[in-house]
Amino acid sequence: MQSTSKCRFCNLVTVGSTRIQSLFPPQVVTAEVDPTVVEEKILHPAEEALVSSAVPKRRREFAAGRACARAALAELGKAAGPILSGVRNEPRWPEGVIGSITHTNGYCAAAVASEDAIRSVGLDVERSDSMPRELWSYICTNEEFEWLSGWPQDDIGSLVKLIFCVKECVYKCQYPITHEFLDFLDVEIAFNNKQEGFVAKIVDKTHIKKQLGSSLEGRCFVDDGFVHSGMVLVRK
């Protein structure tokens, strides 16, 4: 399904052969763009109304996210009208589609899939700079601090950034199913040896575990100044 191409509507967005595609199975279509090159005029009036009072950077990032979402949806063969936002800011996808959007300084991407194939998608990309020390305890559980203690002191801030990115990805993936806010300490992450894959565990909150199932796994990597994480929940 995926190809190396620019979107047929907007020559700025890359569809298919993106830096984030390796995070996902082939049923997921990804698109990416540098948000600084996207113009707000790509927005539908109803989308524009959602960010009319926002600062220019936010309006541009929102437009870039919608541009990526539309390009990925077109590749999936799904027509997209306005993609509005729900009560907790989650994107409201066209019927039969699920997806996720991320934007950070210099990068924006979306991942979408047909609901028949995939139950939910989560995607998050952050700059790979070090997480300030005063935030570590809001983000990491005791188990995660235990894991971090095995690393050189100079690496820990970047690893906390990776944990942060993965937790935001888990949050975006679980929200469309549970409609619940989760705090960073409600989720615990364990990485594989090379930090290319992760397993997320919901701490307590039995009702959420029941809704999501036991297998919360995803992929992540750090490259070229960015931390990337993605996951899907598959249909049984």
Ligand X SMILES: CC(C)(COP(=O)(O)OP(=O)(O)OC[C@H]1O[C@@H](n2cnc3c(N)ncnc32)[C@H](O)[C@@H]1OP(=O)(O)O)[C@@H](O)C(=O)NCCC(=O)NCCS
- Residues near ligand X (CB under 6 A) are 62, 65, 85, 88-91, 101-103, 124, 167-168, 170-172, 175, 182, 184, 186-187
Please answer whether residues 102 and 125 qualify as being in contact, where contact means their C-beta atoms are separated by less than 8 angstroms.
Answer: yes
In angstroms, what is the minimal distance from the CB of 88 to ligand X? Answer: 4
The residue among 40 and 90 lying less far from ligand X, judged by its C-beta, is 90
In angstroms, what is the minimal distance from the CB of 128 to ligand X? Answer: 13
Nearest one of 18, 30, 22, 2 to 197, comparing CA atoms:
22
In angstroms, what is the minimal distance from the CB of 11 to ligand X? Answer: 22
Report the largest interatomic distance among the alpha carbons of the chain, rounded to a whole angstrom: 52
The residue among 16 and 230 lying less far from ligand X, judged by its C-beta, is 230
In angstroms, what is the minimal distance from the CB of 152 to ligand X? Answer: 26
The residue among 5 and 201 lying less far from ligand X, judged by its C-beta, is 201
Using CB atoms within 10 Å of the CB of residue 114, give its burial: 0 to 12 exposed, 13 to 18 middle, 19+ buried.
middle
CA distance 106 to 227: 13
The residue among 6 and 59 lying less far from ligand X, judged by its C-beta, is 59
The residue among 7 and 173 lying less far from ligand X, judged by its C-beta, is 173
In angstroms, what is the minimal distance from the CB of 101 to ligand X? Answer: 4
In angstroms, what is the minimal distance from the CB of 180 to ligand X? Answer: 9
Q: How many CB atoms lie within 10 A of CB 35?
A: 23
Task: Give the residues across from 160 on adjacent strands.
Answer: none
The residue among 16 and 91 lying less far from ligand X, judged by its C-beta, is 91
| Sheet order of strands, 197-202 included | 118-127, 226-234, 217-223, 197-202, 187-191
In angstroms, what is the minimal distance from the CB of 21 to ligand X? Answer: 17
The residue among 5 and 197 lying less far from ligand X, judged by its C-beta, is 197
